[in-house]
Amino acid sequence: MLDDAHLPCERRTCTVSLTVAKKRLQTGDYALEGFESRVLVERKKHLMELGGNLLTPTGRKRFVAACDRLRSECSTPILILEGTVAHLVSTARNQLDYDPWLVIDALHRVCLERGIQVLYLPATTPHQRRSVGEEVARLLINGALTNGERTSPELPGS
């Protein structure tokens, strides 16, 4: 991790050790214990699931309520979709009876209205899944350190 005691241009790092505990969260799929009010990460695997969540009246109502809860319980809500947009759409195209881009549009609309950041991260190989785990850990740690506020010192001459 970046060492906050030094400017980023000094390229100083520090080691962070995490212990992972598997437990059910009220909201979201991932949180850093003690900092749940700062960053929560929700994970979705495919557009078929999201289509049922976003393009049916009952599913949409539940999904919007879940997004509202995610937004109200933390300062930085994040939704991660496992895959690139191209991969998610091409995979779903043969499995859905509607255009998968409708799901993407509906997802972006709901998330943008609520200030939820959406990340598309490929996760098909073991290496990619590990990278997603590392990215989630970094998001949670940086969110705990900054709480969305600017804490870095000014760069010289800025």
Give me the percent of the chain exceeding a pLDDT of 90: 61
Asked if the structure places residue 158 within a domain, the reply is no
- Rounded to the nearest 5°, which phi and psi values hold at 110? -60, -45
User: What is the predicted pLDDT for the residue at 155?
Assistant: 43
Q: At how many degrees (to 10) do helices 85-93 and 47-54 cross? A: 80
pTM of the full structure: 0.83
Contacts of 12 (CB under 8 A, 6+ apart): 2, 3, 5, 6
Q: Would you say residue 134 lies in a domain?
A: yes
- Average the pLDDT over 93-121 and give the result: 94
User: In which domain, by residue range, is 57 found?
Assistant: 24-146
State pLDDT tens for residues 14-51. 787 888 888 898 999 999 999 999 999 999 988 988 99
Residues 6 or more apart whose CB falls under 8 angstroms from that of 142 comprise: 1
- Look at residue 121 in the predicted model and tell me its pLDDT: 93
Average pLDDT over residues 4-12: 72
Closest CA to 108 of 130, 122, 88, 91: 88
The answer as to whether 13 is a domain residue is no
Cα(4)–Cα(146) distance, integer angstroms: 10
| Domain assignment of residue 10, yes or no | no
- Asked if residue 155 is part of any domain, the answer here is no
Report the CATH number that the domain containing residue 69 is assigned in CATH: 3.40.50.10130
Non-local (6+) Cβ contacts of 144 within 8 A are: 32, 34, 35, 38, 39
Contact 47, 84 (CB under 8 A): no
User: Domain total for the chain?
Assistant: 1
Report the pLDDT value the prediction gives residue 17, as an integer from 0 to 100: 82
pLDDT number for residue 156: 47
Q: Is residue 135 part of a domain?
A: yes
Question: Cα 53–57–58 angle (5° rounding)?
Answer: 65
81 strand-pairing partners: 44, 120
